[in-house]
Amino acid sequence: MSIEIQNVSKSFGTFAALSDVSLTVPNGKLMAWLGPSGSGKTTLLRILGGLEFGDCGKIFFDNEDITDVPTRLRQVGFVFQNYALFGHMTVFQNVAFGLTIKSKGPSKSEIREKVMDLLQKVQLEHLAHRYPNQLSGGQSQRIALARALAVNPRFLLLDEPFGALDAQVRKELRRWIRQLHEDLGLTTIFVTHDQEEALEVADQVVIMNQGKIEQIGTPQQVYDAPATPFVYRFLGNVNVLPASINKGKIKFGRTEMVLEGHATVDHSETLAFVRPHEIEISRKTLFHSAGLEVIIQKIHSAGPIAKLSLSRLDNAEKIQAEVPRRQVDSLNLKEGESVLIRIQNARVFQDDYSI
């Protein structure tokens, strides 16, 4: 099932939640919609599910215009952040709900078979007779998924599916959802504000901001080649350093560096975006003094990657760097020392286009 969103806009009073959004969701993909709160991602998801209606624009499911089709006829599996399980029904009854409300629905034994099959799929068949308030967050989320899957939805919409869970369960459920998606091959969209989650789970990531789409691409594409400064800042940590460009060389303060793949447009004052792991650290020696001189203010070395807080010697600007823990040890870096950094990769955005 492919989904086509054409020029959808939606405002709540004077607040424009979505402005002229167009997007195609390819068949069978797991897509993440990523953005800060208020970026319109949940509104767009609710419009797809028929829980909200756009002010203008059209929605197509497999070339069928469903813009004005009510929720119950859309055959869309919608899962909420807080699960929205029916508290007065057992787990079994929750999952069976979509099957029992049809007037000419399946027989009792067929329902039973289907529900138990789904519960097995989410590995919770032993909880069939529990009530929702006896379940953990992760279990509830899986039951909500099973309930949505019971009606053979054309695709799945998950609204912040891991939002209410603690870190450990989150990671587990993330992998599990990825696996489930591979088993079922169902087109799935999930909304999240957690970039790590989006980049790890999805085939395709759509980054949204202020009711508009900033970039669409695979996790690697959006991480390696952010299309806008917003995406750069939003996906992972980034240093934003004042720089100037002259004849293909980028200059930070008085330190010049040649950066490959950068255009020849000269720019006297601009901002360079540098990821913390794109900074190389070396010790100053008699023969080696090329690079920016910085002072190490703080070393956070819990885990395999050490995070260094650096301060430039020339203008005291703060720079974050991430280097392998091993390197910190082998260079014997200490807080308060002065070292040299080389920027291996920087990205400069010029007005509308990037170089």
Partner 1 sequence: MSQGGSQLDRPHLNDPWWIRLPLIAIVVGFLVLFLLLPLVVVFVEALKGGIGPYIKAVTDPRTLAALKLTLIVSGSAVILNTIFGVMAAWCLTKFQFKGKSFLTSLIDLPFAVSPVIAGLIFVLVFGRQGWLGTWGKDFLELFGHLAGHYQNPIIHWALLKIAALADVKIIFALPGIIIATTFITFPFVARELIPLMQTQGIQNEETAASLGATGWKTFWRVTLPSIKWALLYGIILCNARAMGEFGAVSVVSGHQQKTNTLPLHIELLYNEYQFTSAYAVASILALLALVTLILKQLIESHLHSKA
**How far apart are the C-alpha atoms of 335 and 333, rounded to whole Å?**
7
Q: How far is the CB of 34 from partner 1 (least distance, A)?
A: 22
76 binds partner 1 (CB under 8 A): yes
120 touches partner 1 by CB under 8 A: no
* Coil, strand or helix at 81: coil
Identify the residue whose tokens are 């004005």. Answer: 68
Q: Establish if 132 lies at the interface with partner 1 (CB under 8 A).
A: no
Interface positions, 100-119, toward partner 1 (CB under 8 A): 101-102
Quote the CA–CA distance of 338 and 135 in Å, as a whole number. 54
Using the rule CB under 8 A, give the single segment among 31-39, 69-77, 134-142, 168-176 that binds partner 1.
69-77
Contacting residue, 70, 303, 304, 336, with partner 1 by CB under 8 A? 70
Q: Closer to partner 1 at the Cβ: 7 or 71?
A: 71
Complete DSSP assignment for 289-338: --SEEEEEEEEE-SSSEEEEEEEETTT--EEEEEEEHHHHHHHT--TT-E
Does 313 help bind partner 1 (rule: CB under 8 A)? no
Q: Shortest gap between Cβ of 88 and partner 1 (angstroms)? A: 4
> Residue 260, Cβ neighbours under 10 Å: how many?
7
In the complex, least distance from residue 140 CB atom to partner 1, rounded to whole angstroms: 13
Q: How many CB atoms lie within 10 A of CB 273?
A: 21
Comparison of 156 and 199: residue with beta carbon closer to partner 1: 156
**Structure-token match 């289907």, residue found:** 114
Out of 142, 147, 174, 347, which residue is the one contacting partner 1 (CB under 8 A)? 147
- Does position 151 bind partner 1 by CB under 8 A? yes
CB atoms within 10 A of CB 186: 19
Q: Which stretch binds partner 1 (CB under 8 A): 35-43, 95-103, 112-120, 303-311?
A: 95-103
Task: Give the range of 16-24, 65-73, 109-117, 281-289 binding partner 1 by CB under 8 A.
Answer: 65-73
Residue 11 near partner 1 by CB under 8 A: no
- By CB under 8 A, which span of 43-51, 168-176, 250-258, 289-297 interacts with partner 1? 43-51
Structure tokens at 296: 């190490």
Q: Are 181 and 30 in contact (CB under 8 A)?
A: yes
134 binds partner 1 (CB under 8 A): no
The total of other beta-carbon atoms located within 10 Å of residue 313's CB is 15
Return the DSSP state at 340: E
Question: Is residue 131 part of the contact set for partner 1 (CB under 8 A)?
Answer: no
Query: Closest distance between partner 1 and the C-beta of residue 136, in Å?
Result: 19
Q: Does 80 engage in binding with partner 1 (CB under 8 A)?
A: yes
* Nearest C-alpha neighbor of 157 from the set 179, 130, 190: 190
- Span between the terminal Cα atoms of the chain, in Å: 37
Residue 252 phi, psi dihedral angles, 5° rounding? -110, 110
Helix (H) or strand (E) holding 19: strand 15-25
**Shortest reach from residue 334's CB to partner 1, in Å:** 50
Identified binder of partner 1 from the candidate list 1, 16, 51, 305, rule CB under 8 A: 51
Round to whole Å and give the CA distance between 79 and 158.
5
- Tell me the site size for partner 1, rule CB under 8 A: 27
Q: Which is nearer to partner 1, 49 or 276 (CB)?
A: 49
Q: Which residues bind partner 1 (CB under 8 A)?
A: 49-51, 70-78, 80, 82, 84, 86-89, 97-98, 101-102, 147-148, 150-151
